[in-house]
A and B are shown apart, each in its own frame.
Chain A
Amino acid sequence: MTDLDRVQQAVDAAFGQAEGPPRRLFVDVPPAELRGVVHRLRDRWQVRHVSTITGLDNGTDLEVLYHLARGGAVVTLRVTVPRDRPEVPSIVDLIPGAAWYEREVRDLLGVEPAGNPDPGRLVLTEDWPRGIYPLRKDWPPGPARAAGEEEAEG
């Protein structure tokens, strides 16, 4: 059984239940299969709403979480990419509403959405240095810790 089959079976099982999909569903998806899964969710299960895309740094790898919603159900596709080659396929052509969220993840974590038509910065300034991604854990922490106020709170 391929990765795609395994993921799609999990999705089909969740959405095919008689009582409807569960409120939350987390599915691990290999980067190569992301588009196939989104396609299936969209066309077979009418999951057309990208609520947002979360990028995060778990210390070893970068994770990109696609939160797709239908009614009260949110299915989260978790794509893990290595730090040295952070790239995911873009899903903009499948769900146009994902365009800005992909750009946000690219700005803040440096995960390149291959195929996103807009190369411009979304939230960072144009002169923000290349290769510095503020939401990665190795970026200097923010003011609270540096100013020493956090410790005072105990």
Chain B
Amino acid sequence: MSRIQVPIGPQHPALKEPENFTLTLEGEVVVDALARIGYNHRGIEKACEQRTYSRCVYLLERICGICSHSHTTCFVQAVEEIMGLEVPPRALYIRTIVAELERIHSHLLWLGVAGHEVGFDTFFMYTWRDRELVMDLLELISGNRVNYAINNIGGVRRDLGPEAAEGILRALPVLEERTRYYQHVATNDSTFLARLQGVGVIPYQQAVDLCAVGPLARASGVDADVRRDEPYAAYGEIPFNVITHTGGDNLARAVVRVGELYESIGMLRYCVEHLPDGPIAVRPRRRVGPGEAISRYEAPRGEDIHYVRANGSDRPDRVKVRAPTLANLPTIMQALRGVHLADVPITLASIDPCFSCTDRLVRLAPAGGGDGKVWTWAQLRDYGIRWYGGKPDGWR
């Protein structure tokens, strides 16, 4: 049978962010898949080298819209390790609370996206409605719905008041009941099962070899979770289970995520009930190092790792960010082999891809130009002023 190549992206309804996948098809079956990433590079790692540490936190918050807290926590942990800062326990608990709320928010979002990818829009509408509960809590705690800006080097920026604690405890039973319902739907609805079961299988060994992380690895039976393996924040004191599954297919990934929702709800309850008293931050020095540190963090999508090298000044020498999606993309490229074209969207989505996290570098080549011209910032700025200068006032 003749092979045809079908491009998915960079613009495609199944992808919420620009990225390009080239699929080679035999009939409706994918025989080869290639990823081309980099469409979202914004130069964050380089930009960090130009900024003071406190402004790096602000910048790293914006790596990703969903797991913004993951990246800042990971970064401030690394800096605190270099400085040898003792972060107050109350701050660690508040970080954990925001982290677990973020995980619930992210997993509910994913369940909805999974539903949408297989045409189950009702599931999408339901989960996103309930996600609003979590978003409201995050707003109550931090004042923001998405980029919470709760982290600072040395602690957190806002205390968790009794009103917020009460709000969390009030919302948890509702979330728990809704999660039970979603678990029922995800494991019983026959059309949903027909689309998830046995699709995009990753065997255990493949997940290990390709260094998969997070729910993708755990759904293939890899028992790894940074929260347990290397407890940070308050995780050393909180009882919870690591959810694994041996299925390795898209259904297993859904089941693992639903299981983690339960665990997160339990952890939140524990955190709020055992919230220690005391200060929420210590004041850091302005200059850091010299020194280097590696910080790991279990983001909703898997292990997030930051490497920071400090040279004794107020700006980092190097900040390296590796978000979970980059770790999982090679694995999912393997999972795509052998699936039907119709199953490509859900299989791609099964790692909960976040391409903003994956891509972090700036691209300054002019659009459509193949000459490889690199623009400096000043040139780009001049170009922008000239372009807008020629437009009527309404453009500004």
Contacts and interface: CB of A to CB of B under 8 A. Distances in A.
Interface of A: 23-24, 26, 48-52, 54, 56-58, 65, 67, 69, 71-74, 76, 95-101, 104, 108, 121-125, 127-129, 132, 134-135, 139-147, 150, 153
B320 A54 contact: yes
B329 A51 contact: no
A24 B294 CA distance: 8
B365 A128 contact: yes
B294 A67 contact: yes
Contacts of A58: 317
Contacts of A51: 211, 296, 303, 305, 322, 327
Given A129-B374, A141-B46, A97 B307 contact: no
Contact of A56 (B209, B229, B293, B318): B318
Nearest 7 Cβ contacts at the A-B interface? A97-B211, A72-B230, A52-B322, A54-B320, A127-B372, A146-B377, A123-B38
Contact of A147 (B51, B317, B381): B381
Contact of B43 (A50, A96, A142): A142
B322 A134 contact: no
Interface stretch (B135-143, B179-187, B250-258, B356-364): B356-364
A50 B305 CA distance: 11
Contacts of A65: 307
Interface string B204-229: 00001111100000000000101001
A144 B303 CA distance: 29
Given A54-B307, A125-B363, 8 more contacts: A49-B211, A51-B322, A54-B318, A108-B45, A140-B377, A146-B378, A150-B55, A153-B55
A137 to B, nearest CB: 8
Label chain A's interface by main secondary structure. Answer: mixed
B197 interface: no
Interface string B322-347: 10001101110000000000000000
Contacts of B331: 97
Contacts of B326: 52, 100, 104
B318 A74 contact: no
B317 A56 contact: yes
Given A23-B230, A98-B211, A134-B361, A150 B50 contact: yes
A69 B304 CA distance: 13
Contacts of A76: 294
Contact of B46 (A26, A54, A127, A142): A142
Interface of B: 37-38, 41, 43, 45-47, 49-52, 55, 208-212, 224, 226, 229-231, 292-294, 296, 303, 305, 307, 309, 317-318, 320, 322, 326-327, 329-331, 359-363, 365, 369-372, 374, 376-378, 381
A135 B45 contact: yes
Given A71-B230, A144-B47, A124 B376 contact: no
A143 B372 contact: no
Contacts of A99: 330
B320 A56 contact: yes
A66 B390 CA distance: 50
A52 B362 contact: no
Contacts of B309: 56
A100 B331 CA distance: 11
Contacts of B49: 141-142
A65 B307 CA distance: 10
23 contacts: A26-B292, A51-B305, A52-B307, A52-B327, A54-B307, A56-B309, A57-B318, A67-B294, A72-B229, A72-B231, A95-B209, A97-B210, A97-B211, A98-B211, A100-B329, A104-B326, A122-B37, A127-B365, A127-B369, A128-B374, A134-B361, A142-B49, A143-B377
Contact of A67 (B51, B52, B307, B330): B307
Given A52-B322, A124-B363, A74 B294 contact: yes
A69 B217 CA distance: 15
Contacts of B359: 123
B40 to A, nearest CB: 10
A146 B371 contact: no
Given A51-B296, A134-B361, A147-B381, A71 B320 contact: no
